[in-house]
Structure 1
Amino acid sequence: MKLFKTTLAGLMMTAAMTTAAAAQECETTLRSSDTHPEGYPTVEAVKAMAEEVRENTDGRICIEVFPSSQLGEEKDTIEQTQFGVIDMVRATLGTFNDIVPETQLFSLPYLFRDQQHMYNVVDGPIGDELAEAIAEHDLITLAYYDAGARSFYNSQKPIESIDDLSGMKFRVMQNDVFVDMMDALGANATPMPYGEVYSAIQTGVIDGAENNYPSYDSSGHSEVAQYFTLDQHLMVPEIVAMSKQAWESLSPEDQEIIRTAAENSETLERELWAEQETASKEAVEAGGAEIIEGIDKQPFIDAMAPVYEKYATTPEAQDLIKRIQETE
């Protein structure tokens, strides 16, 4: 027993010394928050960014990634980053809607034609302008990540046209835009917590829901709703943002190192997301799901006119939508 206690004490001392040594290596440690778990594309991309920053600053700057909502949910961690309580955050652009009004338009249905169109928008002048608007709220945008496209799935029938949605009951997030979208499509919106969707479909309370391939797969919803229609009605970018306070504490040289690493992580995250989507699609198809692709989306898009009129009420908003739609 005495030998065990001695050995344990030695291990604890060694661990403490290792931790202290690691802390001494980093002159600056930046804490980064993510709600997603270990292994998720966004988490792994920020980790890769951290590794590049550490390497290119000779260990002076370290980024410590806290996944799985360890530092709080997205809305809370965005506010903490604004005030400099934490240094970095990865969050969906939709969570910024109450903070940065310009972000609201990016949650409009069928705004982007496809993922490449979304990339072209956020990687160009519009993305730069959005970053400037976000900067006014003490947040420095470092990268735009991909979160996939949300599509409809249900337990009743293949949805091949807008008419097939008529009268069907779909779970949506508790968001006015989503409710209005379903109304415009002729379906019935049923807001409910995500965790209740499986049983609600299984018992017939709702006919289906909407989400991306990885969520459709990991949630098990493909087991009870075997018809997945790839209409891609919503693509909301995610961003990595840094506290303005933390950013301004860095030298211009270190800022450039972080920006470059963030841009590289952006490329990696999009690649990882594409791989995850492919794997999830293959998994649900192997499980018996029917994927309906190549539908005519124009009637769906045309039906959104009243939704756009309700939420794009200013000339500036209307001009931004026009510029997004015209981006090649």
Structure 2
Amino acid sequence: MTRHIAPRPLALTTLAAGIALSTALATSAAQANDFADMDPVKLRLAHVVNEQDGFHIAATKFEELVEARTEGKVDVEIFPNATLGDERTLLEGMQIGTVDMGVITNGPVANFVEPMAVFELPFLFASPEEAYSVLDGPIGQELLDRLADVNLKGLAYAERGFRNLTNSERPVASPEDIDGLRIRVMENPVYVDTFRELGANAVPMAWTEALTAMQQGTIDGQENPINVIHSFKLNETQDYMTLSRHTYAPAIFVMGMPSWQKLPEAAQEVVEAAAQEAAEYEREQNAAMAEQQLAELKEAGMQIEESPDIAAFQDAVAPVYETYGEQFGDYLPRIQEALKAGESK
């Protein structure tokens, strides 16, 4: 039997709408009052990639949200293209207050808080959704909080995304095809050991140096998500790509503790919430752009191996889990347990 609900009297509907509007206006006014007496602050936000990259998308969204919600009292100035230094330099600058904040790849951050490298373990996450469930949950927050131990403030996880292999020498469909290739990896021991187990000559170096090394032919390849390969036009030096999806790499909105502590509490709340929203926005944009970027790389002549032998890659990197399984405390088993719990739902 269909249940009929009588319409609300017009007077009550109008009253409810008026209350909702009044509440919204009061909240907006309260927020404005939070910043009415605040001295203006400028935050210098740096990253190492170009303006077409997902990091810049995240940074500009953050800028928009923070400036709007603080009535312009917090002014965010973005420095792309490593203009303030490579990622390690940026993190060191944040620690002493010469750089305010940045969007930084997880690998370099893990050099400051080692357990964060647990996310770098190969084939840990099978999908972006698995990664988000851990990063945005208690485990991810706990690791962000540990950055305070090194005078940094972890705000939120954006993403670099699933990383894929490129090279200038030959197609790669299995670990045997990697043997002897000189592959640039991030300056992080998990990445170094992963590619050594795959048979590569793993060469850790900063991204700015890697671009020159690829042009000069002193390295054969590198590994990064599709958005980086596309935005830096790596097809001009790298003829082959393998959709290995070997590692999901988070990126972190990080602020130096000196800059964080200078902000009043209301501004801190805005900054933290805006970082999370900007991170989620960047994830959505990355997903939307990936298919188009892959098609454009193919059109540009890049040869793409879309069905590599993932099982063989997983077998080859099993020693990495033996090496690092206990090095990250209980984080690896906790992540694995959380993922299993998610599967059972």
Going from structure 1 to structure 2, the CA distance change for 1:163 and 1:85 (only over 3 Å counts) comes to: closer
Once residues 51 and 219 of structure 1 are traced to their aligned partners in structure 2, the CA distance between those partners, rounded to angstroms, is: 25
Question: What's 1:172 paired with?
Answer: 184
What per-residue deviation string (whole Å, max 9, x for no partner) do you get for residues 202-230 of structure 1? xxx87654333234345554356443221
Question: What's 1:40 paired with?
Answer: 53
Once residues 216 and 262 of structure 2 are traced to their aligned partners in structure 1, the CA distance between those partners, rounded to angstroms, is: 50
Once residues 111 and 206 of structure 1 are traced to their aligned partners in structure 2, the CA distance between those partners, rounded to angstroms, is: 27
Once residues 153 and 292 of structure 2 are traced to their aligned partners in structure 1, the CA distance between those partners, rounded to angstroms, is: 33
Using the TM superposition, give the Cα deviation of residue 100 of structure 1 relative to its aligned residue in structure 2, in angstroms: 0.9
Question: What's 1:146 paired with?
Answer: 159
Using the TM superposition, give the Cα deviation of residue 91 of structure 1 relative to its aligned residue in structure 2, in angstroms: 1.0
What per-residue deviation string (whole Å, max 9, x for no partner) do you get for residues 258-305 of structure 1? 222212211221233334433321111112333222444233122222
Once residues 99 and 213 of structure 1 are traced to their aligned partners in structure 2, the CA distance between those partners, rounded to angstroms, is: 27
**Partner secondary structure for residue 42 of structure 2:** strand
* Aligned AA (1:316): D
Structure 2 residue 196 is the aligned partner of structure 1 residue 196: no
Once residues 228 and 261 of structure 1 are traced to their aligned partners in structure 2, the CA distance between those partners, rounded to angstroms, is: 35
Using the TM superposition, give the Cα deviation of residue 168 of structure 1 relative to its aligned residue in structure 2, in angstroms: 4.6
Once residues 81 and 88 of structure 1 are traced to their aligned partners in structure 2, the CA distance between those partners, rounded to angstroms, is: 6
Once residues 219 and 67 of structure 1 are traced to their aligned partners in structure 2, the CA distance between those partners, rounded to angstroms, is: 13
Structure 2 residue 133 is the aligned partner of structure 1 residue 120: yes
Once residues 70 and 225 of structure 1 are traced to their aligned partners in structure 2, the CA distance between those partners, rounded to angstroms, is: 25
Once residues 306 and 115 of structure 1 are traced to their aligned partners in structure 2, the CA distance between those partners, rounded to angstroms, is: 24
* Aligned AA (2:183): R
Aligned residues: 300
Using the TM superposition, give the Cα deviation of residue 101 of structure 1 relative to its aligned residue in structure 2, in angstroms: 1.5
Once residues 159 and 296 of structure 1 are traced to their aligned partners in structure 2, the CA distance between those partners, rounded to angstroms, is: 10
Whether contact under 8 Å (1:108, 1:308) holds in the other structure is yes
Whether contact under 8 Å (1:171, 1:197) holds in the other structure is no
Once residues 65 and 319 of structure 1 are traced to their aligned partners in structure 2, the CA distance between those partners, rounded to angstroms, is: 38
Using the TM superposition, give the Cα deviation of residue 98 of structure 1 relative to its aligned residue in structure 2, in angstroms: 2.6
**Partner secondary structure for residue 71 of structure 2:** coil
Question: What's 1:319 paired with?
Answer: 333
**Partner secondary structure for residue 113 of structure 1:** coil
Q: What TM-score do you get using the length of structure 1 for normalisation?
A: 0.78
Once residues 183 and 123 of structure 1 are traced to their aligned partners in structure 2, the CA distance between those partners, rounded to angstroms, is: 31
Whether contact under 8 Å (2:184, 2:221) holds in the other structure is no
Once residues 102 and 87 of structure 1 are traced to their aligned partners in structure 2, the CA distance between those partners, rounded to angstroms, is: 24
Q: Does 55-64 or 268-277 show the bigger shift?
A: 268-277
**Partner secondary structure for residue 242 of structure 2:** strand
Using the TM superposition, give the Cα deviation of residue 251 of structure 1 relative to its aligned residue in structure 2, in angstroms: 3.3
Question: What's 1:309 paired with?
Answer: 322
**Partner secondary structure for residue 69 of structure 1:** coil
Question: What's 1:27 paired with?
Answer: 40
* Aligned AA (2:330): E
Q: What TM-score do you get using the length of structure 2 for normalisation?
A: 0.75
Whether contact under 8 Å (2:41, 2:73) holds in the other structure is yes
Structure 2 residue 108 is the aligned partner of structure 1 residue 92: no
Question: What's 2:267 paired with?
Answer: 254
What per-residue deviation string (whole Å, max 9, x for no partner) do you get for residues 99-142 of structure 1? 11112222222222232222222111111111111122222222
* Aligned AA (1:250): L
Once residues 190 and 241 of structure 1 are traced to their aligned partners in structure 2, the CA distance between those partners, rounded to angstroms, is: 26
* Aligned AA (1:46): A
For the aligned residue pairs, the C-alpha RMSD in angstroms reads 3.0
Going from structure 1 to structure 2, the CA distance change for 1:226 and 1:33 (only over 3 Å counts) comes to: closer
Once residues 169 and 327 of structure 1 are traced to their aligned partners in structure 2, the CA distance between those partners, rounded to angstroms, is: 39
What per-residue deviation string (whole Å, max 9, x for no partner) do you get for residues 14-68 of structure 1? xxxxxxxxxxx96222222222233432223222222222222222222222222
Question: What's 1:268 paired with?
Answer: 281
The runs of 4+ residues in structure 1 deviating greater than 6 Å are none
Whether contact under 8 Å (2:158, 2:250) holds in the other structure is yes
Question: What's 1:22 paired with?
Answer: none
Question: What's 2:116 paired with?
Answer: 103
**Partner secondary structure for residue 44 of structure 2:** strand
**Unaligned ranges ≥5, structure 1:** 1-24
**Unaligned ranges ≥5, structure 2:** 1-37
Question: What's 1:135 paired with?
Answer: 148
Whether contact under 8 Å (1:160, 1:229) holds in the other structure is yes
Same amino acid, percent of matched pairs: 32
**Partner secondary structure for residue 104 of structure 2:** strand
* Aligned AA (2:214): V
Going from structure 1 to structure 2, the CA distance change for 1:170 and 1:80 (only over 3 Å counts) comes to: closer
Residue correspondence of structure 1 range 265-304 to structure 2 within 5 A: 265-304=278-317
* Aligned AA (2:336): K
Structure 2 residue 258 is the aligned partner of structure 1 residue 245: yes
